[in-house]
Amino acid sequence: MATSPKPTPRLLLGPGPCDAHPRVIDAMATPLLGHLDPQFLGIMDETAELCRKVFLTKNALTFPVPGTGSAGMEACFFNLVEPGDKVVVAAAGYFGNRMIEMAERSRAEVAPLTAPWGTAFDPAEIRETLKAVRPKLLAIVNAETSTGVHQPLDEIGALCREYDALFLVDCVTSLGCTPVKVDDWHIDAAYSCSQKGLGCPPGLAPLTFSDRAVAALKARKTKPQSWYLDLNLLQQYWGTERMYHHTAPISSMYALREGLNIVVEEGLEPRWDRHVRNHRALKAGLEAIGLDYIADSKHQLPQLNAVRIPAGIEDVPTRKRLLLEHGIEIGGGLGEFKGRAWRIGLMGYNSRPDVVKTAISAIEQVIGATAGSGVAAADAVYSKE
């Protein structure tokens, strides 16, 4: 009998997915249950509570929806926005622009607030826009995957409350890597994904809605345009009614529960610190071999390192060499940075010193840098930790 060929192992250091934790891979081999089996319903409850712990929230409406992070984005926009609603989207990258697209597909009256790619928004600018537009909702990306920019959120939620706007946040590349404090930051709706900081395969999008967001959902005059992602219906499956809605992705739920357990066991603050420590080492190594960061030092993501391609180095052929000769995947640039940048992920399970040094050593070779110079710079950082 013919057997299917197995894929060549890769070290996934792009913008996602990252490599899944071995415990997560093992969890996926758990025998299947029915999606209404009492044991599986218990697993759903555990998963929802773990999501609350990682989002740092007490929100009752907190659970994963089927699909990737973009499904989480659709679920938030399609449930909170009705035709004619005023929506401000703060966009300074590819995924901020995707939020604009989602708001437009929700038939909102969209007021884009834009900034140069590679920069973060000033709360004062947010305040002025909220004051002028008076929107129902303000949306922003916490970790802009296309530019490597970390957008601070701690002041924006309070501004949204001041101007009676819902606060929607894209946490796709931040959850499990950098702080996401839903309750403390007055975030009304947030969504993420399973395949990045949580160290799981793609397929589920954890989200959470505050009481204010749930009230807005209940007050709709029209049904959400997506039946599959209608949170009124999904909440009846996740709540005490256990009303059938869809066949849940059982193995993916096993994986997510295990990934969330790993995050909680490690502790959120130690996990955030780990990502920062490995970022500092990677950054030292990359800069030592001539790679400059796109974002300024105050707003660099530790889990997604966006760097400019050095002069004289070709984008696609170099990434192809990394993949074929070293088994390492990194991401190319998107939008304005297509062909001009590389995106190197150190997310979740992959944020480790051995991975950092393996990546630097391979990049040294494919760009012709002095052998060992980048690794030595990374080691110097680790020796000071």
Question: Mean pLDDT score of the chain, rounded to an integer?
Answer: 96
| 152 and 86 housed in the same domain | yes
- The stretches of the chain forming alpha helices (DSSP H) are 22-28, 38-55, 69-80, 94-105, 123-133, 156-162, 211-218, 231-238, 250-266, 268-288, 315-326, 353-367, 373-384
What pLDDT score was predicted for residue 3?
Answer: 73
| 145 and 227 housed in the same domain | yes
CB 108 within 8 A of CB 86: yes
Does some domain include residue 9?
no
C-alpha to C-alpha distance for 194 and 173, rounded to whole angstroms:
10
| 193 and 285 housed in the same domain | no
CB 248 within 8 A of CB 66: yes
**Mean pLDDT, residues 24-50 taken together:** 96
What pLDDT score was predicted for residue 337?
Answer: 96
| 285 and 380 housed in the same domain | yes
pLDDT at 4 over 80: no
Does some domain include residue 37?
yes
Q: Which residue has tokens 């997604």? A: 304
CB 329 within 8 A of CB 19: no
- The 10 Å Cβ neighbour count of residue 70 is 16
Task: Identify whether 249 is preceded by a cis peptide bond (ω within 30 of 0).
Answer: no
Q: Give me the phi and psi of 140, to 5 degrees please.
A: -155, 155
| Domain CATH number, residue 370 | 3.90.1150.10
Note the pTM of the prediction, 2 decimals. Answer: 0.96
- For helices 373-384 and 353-367, what crossing angle results, to 10°? 160
**Mean pLDDT, residues 208-221 taken together:** 98
| 189 and 273 housed in the same domain | no
**Mean pLDDT, residues 60-84 taken together:** 98
Does some domain include residue 17?
no
What pLDDT score was predicted for residue 6?
Answer: 86
pLDDT at 2 over 70: no
Q: Please write the tens of the pLDDT for every residue from 124-178.
A: 999 999 999 999 999 999 999 999 999 999 999 999 999 999 999 999 999 999 9
Name the domain count of the chain.
Answer: 2
What pLDDT score was predicted for residue 355?
Answer: 98
**Mean pLDDT, residues 93-109 taken together:** 97
| 107 and 240 housed in the same domain | yes
Domain boundary among the residues 209, 232, 265 is at 265
Domain boundary among the residues 265, 284, 315 is at 265
| 144 and 242 housed in the same domain | yes
- Phi-psi category of 168—alpha, beta or left, where left has phi over 0 and alpha has psi -120 to 50? beta
- How far lies 233's CA from each of 217, 238, 242, 300, 334, in Å? 11, 9, 10, 39, 35
| 34 and 168 housed in the same domain | yes
| 311 and 172 housed in the same domain | no
pLDDT at 216 over 70: yes
- The 10 Å Cβ neighbour count of residue 366 is 18
pLDDT at 1 over 70: no
Query: What are residue 63's DSSP bridge partners?
Result: 207
What pLDDT score was predicted for residue 297?
Answer: 92
Torsion of CA 290, 293, 296, 297, to 10 degrees: -70
